[in-house]
Chains A and B, each alone.
Chain A
Amino acid sequence: MEKTWAQMSADEKQEANFQKLLSPKDPEGNDLQFQSPEAEANYKASITRIKDAIQIKKLPDKVPVTILPSMFPYLNAGITVEEAMYDYDKCTAAFKEFILEFEPDMHIGASVAGPGKFYEILDYKLYSWPGHGVAPEHSYQCNEGEYMAAEEYDLLMMDPSFYFRNFYLPRVFGALEGFKMLAPYTSILEMYGVAFNFVPFALPPVQGTFQTLFEAGAEALKWAGAMGSSDGELATLGFPNIVGGFTKAPFDVIGDTLRGTKGIMLDIYRQPDKLLAAMETLTPIMIGMGVGAAQQTGNPLIFMPLHKGADGFLSDEQFKKFYWPTFRQVMMGLIENGCIPFPALEGHWDSRLEVIQDVPKGKTAWMVDQSDIQKAKATLGKNACLIGNVSSSMLNLGTPQDVRDYVRKLIDTVGQGGGYIVSNGAFFDEAKPENIKAMVDTAKEYGAY
């Protein structure tokens, strides 16, 4: 009898997830109809290549190559970021053009731009975006702040969902003011008194918030439909998106958008126990976020952008005490559920490599930005697949020959023994298209094992 999902080991779950990717389905659940036999062959060869690079059990046929852009596909197609955010057809057309022009082994979908109108409906304050504090041709950017007060840790830990709904969300979405008036759902226990919990829904601010939510939900659905169709069409052309969703290291959850950089750095001294306890509370929630996304999309790679653990932010001791334990727990939880954590080491992480190499072999893939890639290969790279290291400055300001030379060097060194995917190292908006082409073509021409 076949094992149920719950009976499978982490290895078996990961393998099952890859097998699912190798027999893709359309939205109706039927076998995906590829546009040509070549497209089907390319799709499966790409997935197998990436699988082999991640698992480090056997050498792939060649070093895989991907491109991990921010707004580049849109700017390169001659549309502004504003157009990509507000016109979903233009956004997906530009993304398709980008994939067909450069032909990477895997992509991350057209969803990076995001639905501008949706943010507008909810009056999203956490970011500035084109038309809302940023020029049309520029990327959206985070408005860092202290969205969670120093004294709110207990409130967060007591019931994170209640804290998010009644405190955090109304601060970052102007249209969600009405949430402040809602009672905790956990008060709804038995017939006696139950109706009191529902009184807030009769109040105009709450009803206004829900009216806006219906509108926002419709816009989100429209956008998600466009993204899904784009991924589906690109799959039929032979280009898989294997990123299933994202989650974060608990330290970054608190440091990025709740307490902010300054807040979390002060908490390390002023209330270290509360910070540690809150990260423990968030850990299973972050695991669930990644696992849930992978189940919904059927894609096992779970992206984890890493920020405040980079070189220079914390001391080694602070990193080992505050950043690493819960970050590792989140990765382990994802791995146990058959997911593949895909953390991005943004900036420099040289001083952390010795610590973060402690991950099970063949279960993770790491985007490497400006860290010393040879040192990364000798440490983390023993256990994990490395992705990237072609710098934004080279792609932007270098020549195609610079890029070719560098990619060859990466393939010769980091590619040795497998466990490497050629890619840019940091999400980018601007680059010379001929440099992107040189990166992909060099991997394809020179990367055979």
Chain B
Amino acid sequence: MSEQLVNAIADMREEEALKLVKEMVEGDSDPLAILDDAREAMDVVGKRYEEGTYFLPELMLAGEILNQITDILKPELAKLPEVQRHGKVLIGTVEGDIHDIGKNIVTFMLDVNGFDVLDLGVDVSRQKFVEAIEDFQPQVVGLSGFLTLAFDTMKETIDAIQAAGLRDQVKIMVGGGQMDDQVRAHTGADAYGRDAMAAVKLAKDWIGG
């Protein structure tokens, strides 16, 4: 493990981190070990976010650094087997709502925390959620929405999942600007979360990992 690389990523020293990775690749380091360092650094970032020392600038920069490292390692990694994931989360912004900033942050945090996330995007119909649950077989479904219209659309989406006979095989979490427990109860979801770490915590509690 390169402590130097882990620290450079975790402390947001982007140029140094990328320079180190390039040097390591040129020096024939094991790409999997480099990726492990990057994951370890993301764990630190996640913890600091959870503790309230890191916020969106750090999450977004960490995401950018990780993307660049993955790009550098891509030719090497293509030869390697897929990593084991904790479990599957299906996520999307409900029909009628096209906001995606919060959802994207949740997707990113779930991904770096080891979940296999399928993001359906924005303005996702009930039918699309139902079909994706059937195909993707997630343990957790996350519904996002920013507008008051989402209160009802989330409820209708969960009703549709129920009607398709799929409600018992998934845990459902909701999130977005105007969510609280009253809205959660109205929608029929199992829980709501105020931020990305809440989503990670819920997924971990439900799936493990």
Contact = CB atoms under 8 A, between A and B. Distances in A.
B36 interface: no
Contacts of A135: 96
B195 interface: yes
B98 A265 contact: no
Contacts of B61: 265-266, 269-270
A143 interface: yes
A133 B151 contact: no
B152 interface: yes
Interface in B9-67: 12, 14, 53-57, 59-61, 64
Contact of A431 (B55, B147, B148, B177): B148
B149 A312 contact: no
Max chain B C-beta neighbours (<10 A), residue from A312, A313, A348: A312
B97 interface: yes
A74 to B, nearest CB: 13
Contact of A144 (B14, B101, B148): B101
B186 A315 contact: no
A393 B149 contact: no
A429 B98 contact: no
Interface string A392-410: 1110111000000000000
A392 B178 contact: yes
Contacts of A398: 182
A275 B60 CA distance: 17
A141 B147 CA distance: 9
A314 interface: yes
A133 B123 CA distance: 10
B209 to A, nearest CB: 24
B148 A315 contact: no
Interface string B169-209: 00000000111101100100000001100000000000000
Contact of A430 (B98, B149, B177): B149
Interface string A250-270: 000000000001100110111
A397 B182 CA distance: 7
B100 interface: yes
Nearest to A392: B178
A242 to B, nearest CB: 25
A393 B178 contact: yes
A141 B148 contact: no
A370 B178 CA distance: 8
Contact of B149 (A128, A138, A315): A138
Nearest to A429: B148
Interface in A127-147: 128, 133-135, 138-139, 141, 143-144
Contacts of A144: 100-101
Max chain A C-beta neighbours (<10 A), residue from B64, B101, B148: B148
Interface residues of B, number: 31
A143 B194 CA distance: 23
Interface residues of A, number: 37
Contacts of B178: 370, 391-393, 426
A314 B56 CA distance: 6
B99 interface: yes
A398 B185 CA distance: 12
Interface string A422-438: 00001011110000000
Contacts of B14: 269-270
A141 B194 CA distance: 21
A398 B12 CA distance: 45
A266 B64 contact: yes
A429 B147 contact: yes
A430 B182 contact: no
Contacts of B179: 393
B57 A133 contact: no
A200 interface: no
A393 B98 contact: no
Contact of A392 (B12, B53, B55, B148): B148
Max chain B C-beta neighbours (<10 A), residue from A391, A396, A426: A396
Given A266-B57, A314-B55, A261 B96 contact: no
B98 A141 contact: yes
A36 interface: no
B57 A141 contact: no
Given A139-B149, A429-B148, A134 B101 contact: no
Contacts of A134: 96, 98
Contacts of A397: 151, 182-183, 186
B57 A393 contact: no
Interface string A360-400: 00000000001000000000000000000001111011100
A217 B128 CA distance: 41
A348 B96 CA distance: 24
Given A138-B147, A261-B56, A393-B178, 11 more contacts: A141-B147, A143-B98, A262-B60, A266-B57, A266-B61, A266-B64, A315-B53, A318-B57, A370-B180, A396-B148, A430-B152
